[in-house]
């Protein structure tokens, strides 16, 4: 069974959702590590309380994205991690060749629209509403060297309703994320097992 690490920068909602899906048998994997980019990431304590090893690695402690990334992946390797799931992770990663194709991310929009530097959290939903889009959603993709760029694995669509606020849209998209990420991860693991 593949061993997972969750990389978080905030509340860890997507990571906790994936952990629950693993424990219920909907995702055939074993979460073992939670890595936070800040000691203020509230999700870290929650994931540690669920029995995961928890680590904090701050980007400012390293001289480059490459050195920071290497420390993150070294922590994964020390814990025997096979696959990384980014779950609200906000730091740039330099992906070493040995980790290519082994890192998934969820983004709160229908990529390739509304992705890239600065497009995270409420910034995305404000941009979608301001653009007058008829729909938004969530995307699970493989991570590469470019923000929100890697191969798309799955998407879920939600309508943008007349009079929607960014906050209302965020809630609808978050619900789609909770459904999509476990399914996309399970399908990815299943495809790799064949």
pLDDT confidence band for 192 (50 / 70 / 90): confident
Let me know how long the chain is. 194
How far apart are the C-alpha atoms of 128 and 18, rounded to whole Å? 26
**Residue 146 within a domain:** no
Same domain, 65 and 22: yes
Same domain, 13 and 47: yes
Q: Please state the domain count of the chain.
A: 2
Same domain, 122 and 183: yes
Same domain, 130 and 167: yes
Instruction: Name residue, tokens 């069974």.
Output: 1
Q: Phi/psi zone of residue 118: left (φ > 0), alpha (ψ -120 to 50 degrees), beta?
A: left
Nearest to 180 by CA among 154, 144, 161, 146: 154
88 pLDDT above the threshold of 70 = yes
Q: How many CB atoms lie within 10 A of CB 92?
A: 13
pLDDT confidence band for 134 (50 / 70 / 90): very high
Which of 99, 133, 166 is a domain's end point?
99
Residue 40 in tokens = 């203020």
pLDDT at position 191: 92
Same domain, 113 and 93: no
Same domain, 81 and 119: no
What are the tens digits of pLDDT across the range 94-107?
Answer: 999 999 999 999 99
194 pLDDT above the threshold of 80 = no
Same domain, 92 and 132: no
pLDDT at position 193: 61
Task: Pick the range with the lowest mean pLDDT from 7-16, 36-45, 143-152.
Answer: 143-152
Same domain, 79 and 173: no
Q: What is the mean pLDDT of the chain?
A: 96
Q: What CATH number did the domain enclosing 69 receive?
A: 3.40.50.170
Tell me if residue 107 is catalytic: yes
How far apart are the C-alpha atoms of 108 and 110, rounded to whole Å? 7
Same domain, 92 and 184: no
Q: Could you tell me if 4 and 35 are in contact, meaning their C-beta atoms sit under 8 angstroms apart? A: no
**Residue 147 within a domain:** no
pLDDT confidence band for 145 (50 / 70 / 90): confident
Same domain, 88 and 162: no
**Residue 148 within a domain:** no
Same domain, 19 and 36: yes
Same domain, 119 and 53: no
Which residues span the domain enclosing 25?
1-99
């Amino acid at each position: 069974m593949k061993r997972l690490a969750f990389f978080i920068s905030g509340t860890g909602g997507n990571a906790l959702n994936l952990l629950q899906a693993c424990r219920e048998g909907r995702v055939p994997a074993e979460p073992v590590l939670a890595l936070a980019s800040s000691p203020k990431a509230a999700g870290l304590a929650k994931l540690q309380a669920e029995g995961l090893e928890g680590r904090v690695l701050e980007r400012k402690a390293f001289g480059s994205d490459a050195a920071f990334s290497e420390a993150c992946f070294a922590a994964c390797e020390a814990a025997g991690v096979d696959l990384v799931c980014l779950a609200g992770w906000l730091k740039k990663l330099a992906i070493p060749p040995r980790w290519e194709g082994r890192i998934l991310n969820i983004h709160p929009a229908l990529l390739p629209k509304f992705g890239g530097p600065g497009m995270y959290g409420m910034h995305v939903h404000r941009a979608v509403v301001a653009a007058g889009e008829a729909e938004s959603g969530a995307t699970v993709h493989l991570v590469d060297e470019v923000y929100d760029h890697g191969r798309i694995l799955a998407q879920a669509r939600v309508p943008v309703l007349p009079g929607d606020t960014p906050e209302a849209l965020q809630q609808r998209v978050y619900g789609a994320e909770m459904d999509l990420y476990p399914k996309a991860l399970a399908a990815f693991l299943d495809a790799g097992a064949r």
